[in-house]
Amino acid sequence: MKRRDFVKKATLSWLASAVGAEIVFGAKLPEGYQPLALQDADPFKMFNKNKDMVVLNDQPWNMEAQAHLLDDDITPNANMFIRNNGLVPENIDVKNWTLTIDGESVVNKKTYTLADLKSKFEQHTYQLTIECGGNGRSEFNPPAKGNQWTVGAVHCASWTGVRLRDVLKDAGIKSNAVYIGFHAADLHLSRDPGKEPISRGCPMSKALQDETLLAFQMNGADIPFIHGYPLRLVAGGWPASVSGKWLNRISIRNKVHDGSKMTGDAYRVPCKPVAPGETVKDEDMCIIESMPVKSVITYPKSGAMIKEGTPLDIRGHAWAGELEVATMEYSIDFGSTWHTCELKKPANRLAWQHFNAKVEFPQKGYYEIWARAIDARGVAQPMLVPGWNPKGYLNNACHRIAVKVN
pLDDT given for residue 41 in this prediction = 58
CATH class (in words) of the domain with range 294-405: mainly beta
> Rounded to an integer, what is the distance from CA 260 to the centroid of its chain?
18
pLDDT given for residue 30 in this prediction = 73
The domain limits of the chain are 1-41, 94-287, 294-405
Hey, what amino acid is at 60?
P
Q: Is the pTM of this model over 0.75?
A: yes
Dist. CA 389–CA 395, nearest whole Å: 10
pLDDT means per 10 residues in the chain (406 residues)? 42 60 76 58 85 92 97 98 93 93 98 98 98 97 94 98 98 98 95 95 98 98 96 98 98 98 95 94 96 98 96 98 98 98 98 98 97 98 94 98 98
Spatial CA neighbour of 240 closest among 54, 83, 383 = 83
Dist. CA 45–CA 42, nearest whole Å: 6
pLDDT given for residue 10 in this prediction = 46
pLDDT given for residue 1 in this prediction = 42
pLDDT given for residue 46 in this prediction = 85
pLDDT given for residue 22 in this prediction = 74
pLDDT given for residue 188 in this prediction = 94
Contact 237, 129 (CB under 8 A): yes
Domain 94-287 has CATH 3.40.630.10: no
What's the number of CA atoms in the CB half-sphere (13 Å) around residue 165?
Answer: 12
pLDDT given for residue 45 in this prediction = 85
Dist. CA 209–CA 141, nearest whole Å: 36
Q: What is the pLDDT of residues 163-201, one digit of tens each?
A: 999 999 999 999 999 999 999 999 999 989 999 999 999
